[in-house]
Amino acid sequence: MADLTRTSDITSTIAATGSPAPIATLAIAPAQVIRGQGLFSTAAAAITQLGQRPLVVAGSQTWAIGQESIEAMAIQQGLNLSHASYGGECSEANLARLRAVIADHRADLVIGIGGGKALDAAKLVAHQTGLPVVTVPTSAATCAAWTALSNVYSDQGAFLYDVALTTCPQLLLLDYALVQTAPSHTLVAGIGDAIAKWYEASVSSGHSDQTLIIAAVQQARVLRDLLLQKSAHALQAPGSSVWREVVDATVLMAGVIGGLGGAQCRTVAAHAVHNGLTHLLQSHGTLHGDKVAYGILVQLRLEELVQGNLLAATARQQLLKFYREIGLPQCLADLGLMDVTLADLARSAEVACHPGSDIHHLPFEVNPTHLLAAMVSTTAPCAEVRALPRESYRADLSTDPTPL
């Protein structure tokens, strides 16, 4: 089994002395991106240059949608094609099974088709076996088709860790017609995931003097502005030019920011809250971007509660209005967690605050009791903003079994 190198274990590009490390490696972008409609026929030559014995990694629903066009392309190009389900989760057990399938098929190429978890599984198993990978997103819910990163979950869907990959995919096929077949809320969730780039990168890396990180943070600001301006229109006109622009923003531009900024342009509280929520079975019915969008509100609420930050309060109110307009969750009830107990929520907060969590990239100390208080008050009015003593939230809240 190949070594699973965790993001937190990667050596920093800046040595402890503050001088540049002798070698800095960035995986910024896929080697080739092809956009359009009906791409399996037009991109066939690009695929065959990468391999002759591809393994398609996809869910059963996705395979049913794409099987006919993929197999037709394979026959036309003389490819020896095989298919395997990713198993519903990018988990260690499913990755081990996929590695065995790759060996049995003697695959020389992995083609990942689907949503974020399917693409993460395809990218990671290709990384583990030293094969090139093609990513084909079937929705605009994440930027997983672009990035050199995979998230690993338990078989039950709880986030465990992420893995930094050596390269972005060799080929990304963005088929707008395929993406348009996805439920409309997948794009809403993708908007939530993408807009988090600004709220997290500006906090963790906004004061950096490194050229590429400055570029990534500024691109995140542009991405936020674009989404605030165009999302509502795009959602009302699927397939239109503005819809394609927003799809490009969530799938491609969000990936650019992660590529340019690398590990130093980090996720912060929004994704940490997502990771904690995945440990609640009740949250598994909501998409990644929904949890991340809620996590942005939690992060801003933390800035209000711990720092008395009025700018964060204003930003949160702006986002609440935007969320109402396009249908992103504003509170726990919107995530289907109206019946979760404070004890369960406190355990989620503890996961989000574990040592090494991205939440600790906030410029102030956060503990689970602070986080719990923010998680239950994301819709609080600005009038309640004030800096609170660190001992204000008592740990005994976390043992209260009463539903919220």
Residue 360 has pLDDT above 50, yes or no: yes
Q: What percent of the chain has pLDDT over 70?
A: 89
Q: What percent of the chain has pLDDT over 90?
A: 83
Map tokens 């065959």 to a residue. Answer: 48
Gap between the Cα atoms of 46 and 4, Å rounded: 29
298 close to 375: Cβ distance less than 8 angstroms: yes
Spatial strand order in the sheet of 171-175: 33-36, 171-175, 133-137, 109-114, 54-58, 82-85
- Residues of the chain within CATH 3.40.50.1970 domain(s) are 26-182
What are the structure tokens assigned to 138, written together? 């079937």
Give the separation between CA 240 and CA 255, rounded to whole angstroms: 22
CATH 1.20.1090.10 range(s) for the chain read 185-262, 267-404
Integer Cα distance of 205 and 222 in angstroms? 16
Architecture of domain 26-182: 3-Layer(aba) Sandwich (3.40)
Domain 185-262's class?
mainly alpha
Look up residue 85 and give its two tokens.
Answer: 């389900």
Three-state SS for 109? Answer: strand
Q: Which residues contact 232 (CB under 8 A, 6 or more apart)?
A: 325, 326
Confidence class for position 20, pLDDT limits 50, 70, 90: low
Q: Which of 104, 113, 161, 153 is nearest to 133 (CA)?
A: 113
Is the predicted pLDDT of residue 403 greater than 60, yes or no? no
Class of domain 267-404: mainly alpha
Residue listed under structure tokens 């098929």: 105
User: Is residue 73 classed as helix, strand or coil in its secondary structure?
Assistant: helix
pTM of the model: 0.89
pLDDT band of residue 25 (cuts 50, 70, 90) is confident
The tens digit of pLDDT for each residue in 39-94 reads: 988 899 999 999 999 999 999 899 988 899 999 999 999 999 999 999 999 999 99
SS (HEC) of 215-256: HHHHHHHHHHHHHHHHHHHHHHCCCCHHHHHHHHHHHHHHHH
